[in-house]
């Protein structure tokens, strides 16, 4: 502005007739400058007022979807009647320079909140609502995938993929997925993916398996952690009672040691697959599959379920027992026998009611 004023003074001195016009222009420049400062000051005050004014959100949950922009969020706040000046949030984002760091999710908000506090929350991801999905001990990988597919607000990156494709996405191509994931309750936020939960469950199972394997006793005859995982998955399907799991592990170890077939119904059922209708028959027991432990000796090729910590520890620390047989007697419990004769009598009693 000072350069313009100096130029007008020089021209006015050189041309007296122009002096009156130059004075008028100088006054106009001063007025415009002062007005500009006043407008800027008013705008700044109005902006700060908009940021610090308490806003009523009404709904306790505010959802930001993946891909939402600050402009879109501003318009949504305007539509809900929460703000009157959508430009204020956009301007704050430009001022802070981190508007692209907004976290998608479900936010639990207090009844009142300033616009600045709201912005700080959605950039930091503070106050997001945790959701959860529970993976149950003894489930198959198929049931686990169904649970993830039905989980609310979870991004389903694995939907439509074959099991082997899922394992490839996880970075474990060629691995059979059964039994590889630890059954637990997993917390996530809106916009998280099923792939992330699978990664957590895989890592946790590996950790639990390694910890269990480090505690193995001399009675544990298996050669590798994966073999322990296989046997633990059978124990998990036979019983989920913690006090019975070591005894069942001891029975199965005794049978393996003596070269006896495991003869567990749970492995037969797994081998039948979708053809199983809830009732195991003699035909099923005689139908040979890689998982039929009535027709084949030794361990099955893969786990048949997701074993929990109890069955993992029971596998590596089996009970020292003289039993070789067990049969369900109701209430989830089993009757254990040393000899085939005792076992047959127990079957007649508990299965056939004789």
What is the distance between the alpha carbons of residues 318 and 231, in angstroms, rounded to a whole number?
Answer: 11
Least confident interval from 9-13, 51-55, 167-171: 9-13
pLDDT for residue 8 is more than 60: no
pLDDT for residue 38 is more than 50: no
Least confident interval from 18-32, 36-50, 109-123, 211-225: 36-50
Least confident interval from 10-19, 94-103, 130-139, 306-315: 10-19
Helix (H, G, I), strand (E, B) or coil at 76: helix
Out of 3.30.1490.480, 3.30.465.10, 3.90.1170.30, 3.30.1320.10, which CATH number does the structure's domain 54-124 have? 3.30.1490.480
Least confident interval from 5-9, 222-226, 337-341: 5-9
The pTM of this model reads 0.74
Instruction: Check residue 52 and give its pLDDT.
Output: 66
pLDDT for residue 313 is more than 90: yes
pLDDT for residue 314 is more than 60: yes
pLDDT for residue 17 is more than 60: no
pLDDT for residue 134 is more than 80: yes
Please provide residue 84's backbone torsions phi and psi, each rounded to the nearest 5 degrees.
-110, -20
Question: Quick count: other Cβ atoms within 10 Å of Cβ 75?
Answer: 15
Instruction: Check residue 265 and give its pLDDT.
Output: 94
Model confidence band, residue 268 (pLDDT cutoffs 50, 70, 90) = very high
Higher pLDDT, 39 or 13: 13
Q: Where are the domains of the chain?
A: 2-52, 54-124, 131-209, 215-350
Torsion of CA 206, 209, 214, 216, to 10 degrees: -160
Instruction: Check residue 103 and give its pLDDT.
Output: 86
Model confidence band, residue 18 (pLDDT cutoffs 50, 70, 90) = very low
Torsion of CA 275, 279, 282, 287, to 10 degrees: 20
pLDDT for residue 247 is more than 60: yes
User: Does residue 234 contact residue 307 with C-beta atoms inside 8 Å?
Assistant: no
Mean pLDDT highest for which of 2-16, 60-74, 255-269? 255-269
Pairing of strands 131-134, 112-114: unpaired
Instruction: Check residue 82 and give its pLDDT.
Output: 84
Residue 67 to residues 71, 104, 312: CA-CA distances in angstroms?
Answer: 11, 8, 42
pLDDT for residue 300 is more than 50: yes
pLDDT in tens, 178-204: 999 999 999 998 888 999 999 999 999
**What value does the mean pLDDT of the chain take?**
86
Name the token pair of 115. 């616009």
């Amino acid at each position: 502005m000072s350069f313009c004023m100096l130029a007008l003074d020089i021209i006015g001195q050189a041309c007296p007739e122009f002096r009156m016009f130059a004075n008028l222009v100088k006054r106009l420049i001063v007025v415009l400058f002062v007005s500009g400062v006043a407008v800027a000051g008013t705008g700044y005050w109005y902006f700060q007022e908009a940021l610090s004014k308490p806003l009523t959100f009404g709904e306790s949950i505010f959802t930001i979807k993946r891909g939402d922009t600050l402009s879109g969020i501003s318009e949504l706040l305007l539509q809900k009647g929460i703000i009157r000046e959508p430009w204020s949030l956009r301007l704050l984002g430009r001022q802070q320079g981190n508007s692209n760091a907004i976290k998608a999710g479900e936010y639990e908000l207090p009844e009142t909140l300033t616009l600045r506090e709201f912005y700080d929350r959605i950039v930091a991801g503070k106050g997001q609502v945790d959701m959860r999905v529970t993976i149950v001990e003894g489930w198959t990988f198929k049931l686990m995938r169904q649970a993830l597919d039905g989980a609310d607000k979870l991004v389903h990156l694995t939907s439509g993929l074959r099991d082997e494709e899922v394992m490839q996405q996880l970075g474990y191509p060629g691995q059979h997925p059964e039994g590889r994931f630890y059954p637990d309750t997993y917390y996530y936020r809106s916009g998280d993916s099923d792939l992330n939960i699978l990664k957590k469950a895989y890592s946790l199972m590996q950790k639990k398996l390694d910890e269990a394997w480090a505690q193995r006793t001399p009675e544990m005859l298996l050669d590798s952690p994966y073999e322990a995982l296989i046997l633990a998955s059978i124990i998990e399907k036979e019983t989920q009672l913690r006090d019975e799991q070591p005894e069942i592990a001891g029975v199965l170890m005794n049978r393996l040691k003596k070269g006896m077939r495991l003869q567990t119904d749970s492995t037969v059922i797994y081998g039948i697959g979708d053809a199983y209708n809830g009732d195991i028959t003699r035909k099923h027991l005689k139908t040979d599959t890689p998982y039929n432990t009535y027709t084949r000796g030794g361990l099955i090729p893969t786990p048949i379920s997701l074993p929990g910590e109890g069955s993992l520890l029971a596998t590596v620390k089996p009970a020292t027992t003289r039993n070789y047989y067990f049969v369900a007697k109701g209430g989830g419990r089993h009757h254990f026998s040393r000899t085939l004769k005792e076992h047959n009598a127990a079957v007649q009693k508990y299965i056939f009611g004789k």
